[in-house]
Structure 1
Amino acid sequence: MSLAAVGEARRVLEQEQSRLAAARARLNQVDEERRALERYAPAYRALLAAGIVGPEQRVNWIDAVRAASQSLRGFAVDYRLAAQQPARLLAAPAGVVVHESLMELNLKLLHEGDLLAFLSALDNQHAGLALPRSCTIQRLASGPFSARFEPKLVAECSLVWITLSPVERQP
């Protein structure tokens, strides 16, 4: 065998060893990704089922507000749901787009505890992730005290419904 042939064989061997190392590295990366998927898949499926990951669940949110309004003993709940927009966050998780939809609520209350009962009932609907942004409560001008079963307070609240969407990866 000539020196040129030995040199060529070494060059081919080094090329093949480099390709083998690259294939092993890619295999390790795929194995790591598989383990990460197995580890996080149950939590991801739970977020999907809860309506937090994926498209907006506007109809479910409205149904949840209506169901939670049962805690208000028949008093009115008015709402306005704004269009979805990018969430106002200082930092978002990598690989995730966070959106928010603002819902303005106007609730008639017998007492302050009704607001807490409403928010708890809304949370118990499991219709997504609703975060209270602000609430103000004002006493209704009803004249002298009356023991009648009528609203005594009005609450104006802002909630944000949060939805997450995975960022599309480019191949």
Structure 2
Amino acid sequence: MLILTLGDFFDSGFPSTPAISHSGSVLKPDEPEKPAVRKENTAEALPEGFFDDPVTDAKVRKVDAPKDLMDKEWDEFQKEIRQVNNASEAIVAEDDEEGRIERQIDEIDEQIECYRRVEHLREKRDLAKDRLEKKTGASEMEEEESSEDDEEQLLELLARDWRAKGALS
């Protein structure tokens, strides 16, 4: 270590820096600090279209990436198709409802016709029953009269027969 005295200091041609021992670290002259750059400031400072890739440009500026023309047209096409499909489904549903109502009306008309036929057949049955009762009532009287006549005829027949004469008396 070199120690210089004040008198020697002015006489010698050494630089004016003091001799300080250090442990191997080298002192660097102070550099002016750079201002800290934030991403927000960078994104705001960059103009739109700074990057060639629109997706990267939008990502750096923290905005939604613009869709290219094909994607926009595709989205519009799909939206139109959905609207047309909704209208088509509404028309089909309305037609189905009308068809269902018409079928129900036809079924009801058919049932009404069947009930008319049933009532007509019941009327025929009642009429036939009345006729049968009238005929049956008349035939019972006739049967009674005819059965009495039959008995008389039988007795007369038996009376004519000589062999039966003694049997009946």
TM-score by length of 2: 0.32
Please state which structure has a larger fraction of its residues in strand. Answer: 1
When Rg is computed on C-alpha atoms for both structures, the one with the higher figure is 2
Please state which structure has a larger fraction of its residues in helix. Answer: 2
